Chains A and B, each alone.
Chain A
Amino acid sequence: MDLILNIAVDGVAYGMILFMIAVGLSVTMGLMRVVNLAHGGFALLGGAFAHWLGTDAGLGFWVAAPLAIAAVVVIALPLERLIYRRIYGFGELQQVLATIGLTFLMIATVNRWQGSTLLPIALPDMLKQTVDLGFRQLTAHRAAVIIVGFAVIGALWLLLDRTRFGIRLRASVDNRDTASSLGINTGRIYMLTFALGAGLAALGGILGAELLPIDAYYPLRYMVLFLIVVAIGGMGSILGSFIAALSIGIVETASRYLLPEAATILFFGLVILFLALRPKGIMGRA
């Protein structure tokens, strides 16, 4: 019984961290239909800023983290104008190549700026405590990630389904020309959505750093993991990414409790099996 509870708690906590990082990718890749391999790069930038602001500039976590996210958004806006805007119309492979090139530049920049060692982000004391769940302990940090994760999916649902911005965004994505002719400023919608995706990446990078520590090569190291979450969830579905992240978290955690040695093979085997049976993912549209 304890084992099942352990798997549930650790699986959800891990899955939520995956979701936090992958949800931004789901926004750019799913909603905007651009294969954005540079997503991890924005998470890296967020983490690097948070490290720098916290360690070198001496700011507290609660100040450093929002500032770091803001900084990433500020960088993302001109990048969208200069680079992404041009590649929306490209084929998938060109998009892959362009965003890999961009990722290389981001890695090289952080490498030059902060070196190739780990960039730890100091957590506030509040998040370092442990919460007693009765049958075991959980770190406050993971509890916080679970709460923020639910908050993010709630906020995104409100934003996309219940606001004018959301309606316009869906209209722009479904048919850009029609949307423009109806007077929607599609350029601005795309730019804002992209910035949202980048901001979420930064948030995920910072909050997930306890599990996926930040260093210059972060984007390449975890690229496959993020892509798997989006592929399993189905392109274009925030809810799909959410379910996928939690399922992956629970499956991986269960295999690590029960059969740690076979965990990798089991994990990728299940990914293949699932995608072969449901190529469009959990919530994918045909």
Chain B
Amino acid sequence: MFVSLESLNPLFTSMIHYDVIIIGMGLSGLMAAKTAVEAGRKVLIIGRGTGSLCLFSNTIDLLGEFPKATTTEDGLSRWIANHPQHPYSKAGQTGINEALVSFISLFPPPYSFESIGDENCMMLTGAGTFRPTRLVPSTMLAGISTRQGKTLVVGFEGFKDFYARYVADGLGCQGITLPLPETLNQEITASALSRFMEQDSFRKEIGREVRKHINGEVRVGFPAVLGLQDPMSVKKAIEDDVGVEVFEIPTLPPSVPGRRIFNRFRTWLIQRGVTFVMGQPVTEVSLEGNRCKGVYVFHAPGSTFYSGDRIILATGRFMGGGLVADQKRIIEPIFNLPVVQPESREGWFKKMFPEDHPIHYAGIETDVSFRPVDTRGGVLIDNVWVAGTVLAHHNVIEEKSREGIELVTGYLAAKRAIER
């Protein structure tokens, strides 16, 4: 598969051993790390990037496709019955609940993840539409009741990933676009705005300006840029100036709320002794018989070998690099695991954009313990478990299940791994 990296680097000596090595630093990898370290294991997490977490995740979607007025529990049990191959069916109702509880426990108030009752809620989006989601960070809570009372939507001049009037016209309410102080003199991105929001003087100016436009509105919606460190204080400070409730609305990527989730996991995991190797790809794995001995991580000009007892593959889909499509086939590049996929490229995408494209169901087949299997169900590598969106038989986009699948499978893959 690859030239042995040991032979390329004569100085190659390092040999660090871990109980659990996680490849992938998105939500599923982080969740797996949390689960493993809580069980007292020595954990290494390796990530080239942070997956889709810091791009698309704002709230925790579990499953959007419930019939109206169905509780999550009813909806899930029906879903599991109808989709036996789906990752949720391997997890079971109990596994799903445990994973969500574990995630929620990581976010104590003030910035916590909440739900309204025991069903999905409809969350206002940056296109003025609503999306079904299960858990909402406290900064977004007021965005799920926008059908009652008037809302003011606020955007910022020069911030091109959010348009207040677009959202407001969809809601049938007022939208304003505030000019930013000229001294900023830099490109107005979501992360730049969230830094400014943490400055008291900036917030005050925004608050004063917004207050002038309040005309019977009972809440004010901002793009989701209300600070990275302490968003609830930012929200509270603006509320004090404006006099009504403030909430956040998801924007085009990148996602500041996703970055908050990442930061919280990282701080918590590092405190508990998890080793992070960031920004480097796993270039090769060392296999012996049906066991993986460890992984090679590229550090120019050489690479480091990390040995591990258990390996969790949480590399995401195409965007994360967990799956790669050439002109004909889809492959899994790290272990070269078999990928469940349509017969030929012709079958990847349907004729119309809105259709449910078969390529999204492609991925790695596993047993109920999330170990990769061949077409006859035989376990391929004894000490490798698979988590997150790289798994087959789900479509996080259509199902609105992205964070749910990542959390649940990350939690369970790690749990099954340490049980062994």
Binding between chains A and B? no
Instruction: List the interface of chain B (C-beta within 8 A of A).
Output: none
Instruction: List the interface of chain A (C-beta within 8 A of B).
Output: none
